[in-house]
């Protein structure tokens, strides 16, 4: 069988989960020409609730999942999709596709059950290859990110879970990291495409969950955990 015939036989049904519509449109344009790529985009979602609904309804082969989503982040989608991932007949597999290359983001979604993690700098052709590899049960990582996972799961002297950090949502972690780097609320709001009031709410939630009093304590806390 030549490569063209093999491509014609392969099909992967995919759901795109990302809160930026223009990015979803771009991915659809890159990989969604089924006759050319073998990938069929069967659904899209912009937040956690939409994602769970669409994934449950369509039962795709692969979900391309952003890490940072309204409603609890990619890890919440994974948590609520555990039964679908465990289906012995038709498991739904997840490939994280994110702008973030932070170690805790990578490790968080892999612990949650994702089969791989690639960054949004990936080319369309490489993304198609990654989709098929994940659909076939392989694990796929952007080269630098594989090291995070190997270190996290191979190390016996590091705690597997940071319980304090796990109390925070993905968005709260993102705000925490930017606060610790010295960003003003207005700058954080602009970078994350949210309002200043929403930033303030996230900071208040982080301080409450971590039992800290101010952003200076928060910065020390984040620095001690090498999150900055």
What pTM did the predictor assign? Answer: 0.65
Once rounded to an integer, what is the mean pLDDT over residues 4-31?
A: 84
pLDDT tens digits along 33-61:
999 999 999 999 999 999 999 999 999 99
3-state secondary structure of 15: strand
In sequence order, what E strands does 99-213 have? 116-119, 140-141
The answer to whether the CB of 180 falls within 8 A of the CB of 226 is no
Sign of torsion over alpha carbons 141, 142, 145, 146? positive
The answer to whether the CB of 210 falls within 8 A of the CB of 202 is no
Query: What token pair was written down for 200?
Result: 């303030």
Decide if pLDDT at 159 tops 50.
no
């Amino acid at each position: 069988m030549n490569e063209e015939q093999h491509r014609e036989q392969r099909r992967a049904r995919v759901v795109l989960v990302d809160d930026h519509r223009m990015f979803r449109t771009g991915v659809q344009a890159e990989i969604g020409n089924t006759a050319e790529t073998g990938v069929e985009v069967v659904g899209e979602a912009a937040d956690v609730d939409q994602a769970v609904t669409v994934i449950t309804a369509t039962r795709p082969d692969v979900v391309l999942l952003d890490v940072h989503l309204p409603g609890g982040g990619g890890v919440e989608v994974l948590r609520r999709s555990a039964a679908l991932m465990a289906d012995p007949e038709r498991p739904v597999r997840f490939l994280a596709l994110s702008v973030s290359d932070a170690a805790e983001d990578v490790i968080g979604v892999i612990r949650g059950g994702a089969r791989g993690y690639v960054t949004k700098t990936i080319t369309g052709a490489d993304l198609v290859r990654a989709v098929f590899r994940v659909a076939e049960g392989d694990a796929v990582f952007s080269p630098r990110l594989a090291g995070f996972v190997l270190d996290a799961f191979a190390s016996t002297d590091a705690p597997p879970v940071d319980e304090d950090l796990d109390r925070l949502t993905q968005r709260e972690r993102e705000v925490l990291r930017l606060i610790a780097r010295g960003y003003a609320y207005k700058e954080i709001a602009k970078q994350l495409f949210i309002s200043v009031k929403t930033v303030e709410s996230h900071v208040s939630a982080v301080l409450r969950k971590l039992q800290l009093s101010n952003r200076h304590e928060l910065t020390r806390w984040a620095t001690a955990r090498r999150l900055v």
